[in-house]
A = this chain, B = another copy of it.
Amino acid sequence: PCARSGRPSRLQARTVVQQCIKAKVRIKPELDGADAQWVEIQEGMVVYVCFFHGATEDVTHEMDTGRSVSVLNLPGSVLFIPQDSLLGEPGPKRRIQYRGGCEPWWGAQLLSNLVSACRELMSASEKCSKAGVKVEQGVYGQKQDMVLNSVEPLTLLLEF
């Protein structure tokens, strides 16, 4: 369990959600003459996500089906972007401190679970299947080189 000050001890994940008409994130840098690789979505939302120390697999289920925005109502695609900077809290001397995150291998696992659960949920929805929505993700532990186009981002903070 997380014992950081100013945060409920049960907090397992923090997300920032933004609506977009197009968004892409680089999953492979340009290397040895080979082009960079990107994943892209149209019409949907970008979900920046970090997991706190003590996060369990249950939280990915809760994020998917619980009190979160119902993506299925759009219908829209989802791009998950790992974003450990969301752990940040102001520390002394105007510096931001990044503490209290779960271990990277576990964060990567939880993100992967979340993406799978979301894909499953969407493929079970006729509306989503018809609309051809997709679920993509950035790469854990990598710089999230990205472009976002939005006509109304409607930025939301959701904690789990």
Residues of A near any B CB (own CB < 8 A)? 14, 16, 48, 67-70, 81, 83, 85-86, 88, 90, 94, 96, 143-158
Which residues of chain B come closer than 8 Å to A96, judged between CB atoms? 69, 156
Question: A67-B94, A68-B90, A70-B94 are contacts. A14–B157 as well, Cβ < 8 Å?
Answer: yes
A155 touches B48 (CB 8 A): yes
Copies in the assembly, this chain: 2
**A153 contacts which of B83, B90, B156 (Cβ < 8 Å)?**
B83
Which residues of chain B come closer than 8 Å to A149, judged between CB atoms? 146-147
A153 and B49 CA atoms in complex are apart in Å by 12
Which residues of chain B come closer than 8 Å to A156, judged between CB atoms? 85-86, 88, 96
Question: A147-B148, A150-B146 are contacts. A155–B85 as well, Cβ < 8 Å?
Answer: yes
Which residues of chain B come closer than 8 Å to A94, judged between CB atoms? 67-70
A148 touches B151 (CB 8 A): no
A154 and B82 CA atoms in complex are apart in Å by 10
A109 and B100 CA atoms in complex are apart in Å by 36
**Min CB gap A127→B, angstroms:** 15
Which residues of chain B come closer than 8 Å to A67, judged between CB atoms? 90, 94
A146 touches B153 (CB 8 A): yes
* Closest partner residue, chain B, to A26 (CB atom): B151
Q: Give the 9 A-B residue pairs with the shortest CB-CB distance, closest first.
A: A67-B90, A85-B154, A148-B148, A143-B152, A70-B94, A48-B155, A88-B156, A145-B151, A83-B155
